[in-house]
Chain A
Amino acid sequence: MKISKKFELRILLIFLLFTFLCFLFLLINTYGMNHFLDDKNNLLEENFNKAIPNIYDCNFNYYEINHHMKEGGFTKLRFRKSITGNELCFGKITYTGITPGTKFSDISRDSYIEFGVNQKHGLPLWLFEVNFLMFTFIIFMLIIFQIFFYKKNFFVAFIFTILIYSIITFNENNTFINSSKSYFPNTDTTNENFMQNRLNDDS
């Protein structure tokens, strides 16, 4: 049996969409959506307004701490994701490298600030990351458009979405996970510095 080309693309995209929706359902089932729906975290607002919060017993989630720090003007944030089996700590912050209670005014905006965040094994933290969630939503819509308007080729729209998302997140991703340094450009890796650091003794 020969499947027509239009039908073939639709089948493949419906299969992709179905898998994607099942996965999303699994994520919502595990992490919930409360972090978006709850207006404000009172503990964070009242006790740690413009300060590093005191993190214990998985009391803050990834989304609100990320939001809290970005509101404070910090851009060099790192979230180290690790696996946990503790259901109460899924999507929750576990530690920070800065002393709790430290005022934002006492920290340089260029500082490297690290947080630990827990996730369930096999289930990423997409639901806490606004940019990525928007990216997936646009992709989701494009897949639906492609299924319905199969005569048009939406591939360029997909690529354009990837381009925009990559540009927006480029600086955030262009950083080492364990320091404030950037991957590109990096003067440590110039030919002259490479010679000096790695070959001078050996050559």
Chain B
Amino acid sequence: MMIVDQVLLIILFITPGLIITSFFNLKKEYLLTLCFSIFFWSLSSIFIPMNFFVVNIYGNFIIYFAFLFWIIKFKNFKNLIFNFIFLLLFENINNFFGVIHITSTTQITLDSALSNLSFNSYNPGVSSMQIALLKFFNKNFILLTLQQCASFSLLFFNLKNIIKLNRLKYFNIFIIFPAFLIIAVLLEIMTIRTHFFASQLLCFLIIEAFKLKSKRLPTSVFLIFLCMFISSRLENIIIYFPLILLVLRNYFNDEIIIKNKKMVFMLLLSTFSPLIINFHAYTNTQDLRGNIFILSFLIILLNIFVIFNKNNLIKFIHNKFNLIFIFSVILLAIALHYLFSNKAMNSWLLIFNHLVDSHQGWGVVVFYFVIILIYLINKTENYELKKMYTTFFITFALIIISSPLQHSSYGGESWIDGIIEGLAIYNPYDESQTRSFLQLFLTILPFSVLITSPKANI
């Protein structure tokens, strides 16, 4: 009986993805189907009536009917079977062994999911995408590994892309395997949190931005993934803003966007819609991530940078990008030290403690990250790509430097008092920046395959 429940839930979840891949004529890109499904269902946190399709039996039938229609119309059985087996396999592995890592975030995400399914919009500050991952259950079974399935699916897609574009051997993929034996990495991958998925979304965007135009997927797909990346984590637009700027700059490098009204509209839609998709999460978050004014400002800045890409000032900023970025991080550090004095130093040293400690392999991940970037910077001849890799380093610095902003919101009394004597080094102030670092590491990880290339330049 349980297998029937699993089958019905899986069909319910993947049907939108199957339809969207067919709509974009991506029949052969099986590995993207689950991403589109997550995107579709993430909309149900803001368009609450959409939950009718998940929670109501008649709503379910509408989806099953759409599924049958899709089978008859498109007959893309390979796509269906691949994704169906992939999901079924992950769910059953978890059901037998228990490979998911349950954190406190799981409960608040579940509460939000249950609220949505009751046609309410309660959200204590969780991204809509994360909530969508816990909505698929019935009386006998719950799908728990949707994040892992979609993320691994996208990781394989990215690896396949890198391998094909650089004419490497599929065997080279094994070079990334050791990362999954580091407990700190494995734990983050196996949670309900969307860091792993977000990392692969950014990796996808970078690969698309640096591909030859003729080999790219449709621009609309790129923009949907851009929207997904920005909305996958509340902090993405703030922490990864420089990386998104570079990605968009490279993607639209040859185009005069300002003259293409349709493109401008699509770009605005894809960058502003995350503010709508995560509206409830943003408005219920007390820290910088929930500041709609700052988020809107950043998105406007992002669009100006891309739309006026041929402007001399924008070109100048682009040329001196990392210099400006480093200068901004230094200014931020000075501002934070001025604002919080010794507490800022406490925060920086605490996050440093956490990141370089041997516990759970954190120190190993930091080293792994640095060594991948050093080799990648050395290996590429592409100046823009080299710039991008350097931006990863500075983003890492930004994650550490910005830690007082997070600690001042979640550090409680001990942070306010500035007392560090006896403070445990593991997660002393609910440190989500360390997870942002893991996201950064997982973004660059697939590119490490390139280092094994026998070619001198890639």
A, B in one complex: yes
Which positions in A face B, CB cutoff 8 Å? 5, 8-9, 12-13, 16, 80-85, 119, 121-122, 124-126, 129, 131-132, 135, 139, 153, 155-156, 158-160, 162-163, 165-167, 169-170, 173-174, 177, 183-195, 198-199, 202-203
CB pair B353 A183 closer than 8 Å:
no
Q: Is B397 positioned at the interface, with any CB of A under 8 Å from its CB?
A: no
Where chain A touches its partner, the secondary structure class is helix
Q: Which 7 A-B pairs have the closest CB atoms?
A: A122-B349, A166-B181, A163-B178, A185-B97, A173-B183, A9-B378, A132-B358
Q: Which of A82, A158, A173 is in CB contact (< 8 Å) with B425? A: A82
CB pair B377 A83 closer than 8 Å:
no
Q: Is B235 positioned at the interface, with any CB of A under 8 Å from its CB?
A: no
CB pair A12 B422 closer than 8 Å:
no
CB pair A203 B137 closer than 8 Å:
yes
CB pair B346 A121 closer than 8 Å:
yes
Given contacts A119-B425, A160-B178, 17 further A-B contacts (CB under 8 A): A8-B377, A84-B422, A85-B421, A129-B358, A156-B175, A167-B181, A173-B359, A173-B360, A177-B359, A184-B99, A185-B97, A186-B98, A187-B97, A189-B94, A189-B98, A189-B144, A194-B100
8 A-B pairs in the complex with CB atoms less than 8 angstroms apart: A125-B357, A153-B451, A153-B452, A158-B371, A186-B98, A191-B142, A195-B140, A203-B139
Residue in B closest to A143 when the chains form the complex, CB atoms = B371
Contact with A along B378-404 (1 / 0, CB 8 A): 110000000000000000000000000
Q: Is B8 positioned at the interface, with any CB of A under 8 Å from its CB?
A: no
Q: A5-B378, A119-B425 are in contact. Are A194 and B142 (CB under 8 A)?
A: yes
Where chain B touches its partner, the secondary structure class is helix
Residue in A124, A132, A158 with the greatest tally of chain B CB atoms within 10 Å: A124
Which positions in B face A, CB cutoff 8 Å? 91, 94-102, 107, 110, 114, 137, 139-144, 175, 177-178, 181-184, 186-187, 190, 346, 349-350, 352-353, 356-361, 363-364, 367-368, 370-371, 374-375, 377-379, 420-426, 448, 451-452, 456-457
CB pair B99 A185 closer than 8 Å:
yes
CB pair A156 B178 closer than 8 Å:
no
CB pair A121 B357 closer than 8 Å:
no
CA–CA, A189 and B102, complex, Å: 7
Give the residues in chain A near B177, CB-CB below 8 Å: 163
Q: Tally the A-B contacts, defined by beta carbons under 8 Å.
A: 163
Residue in B closest to A117 when the chains form the complex, CB atoms = B425
CA–CA, A82 and B361, complex, Å: 18
Q: Which of B144, B183, B420, B425 is in CB contact (< 8 Å) with A174? A: B183
Q: A184-B99, A186-B98 are in contact. Are A9 and B422 (CB under 8 A)?
A: no
CB pair A190 B422 closer than 8 Å:
no
Residue in B110, B177, B182, B448 with the greatest tally of chain A CB atoms within 10 Å: B182
CA–CA, A166 and B185, complex, Å: 11
Give the residues in chain A near B141, CB-CB below 8 Å: 191-192, 195
Determine how close the nearest CB of chain A comes to the CB of B384; give it in whole angstroms.
16
Give the residues in chain B near A155, CB-CB below 8 Å: 371, 375, 448, 451-452
Residue in B closest to A192 when the chains form the complex, CB atoms = B95
Q: Which of A83, A160, A191 is in CB contact (< 8 Å) with B423? A: A83
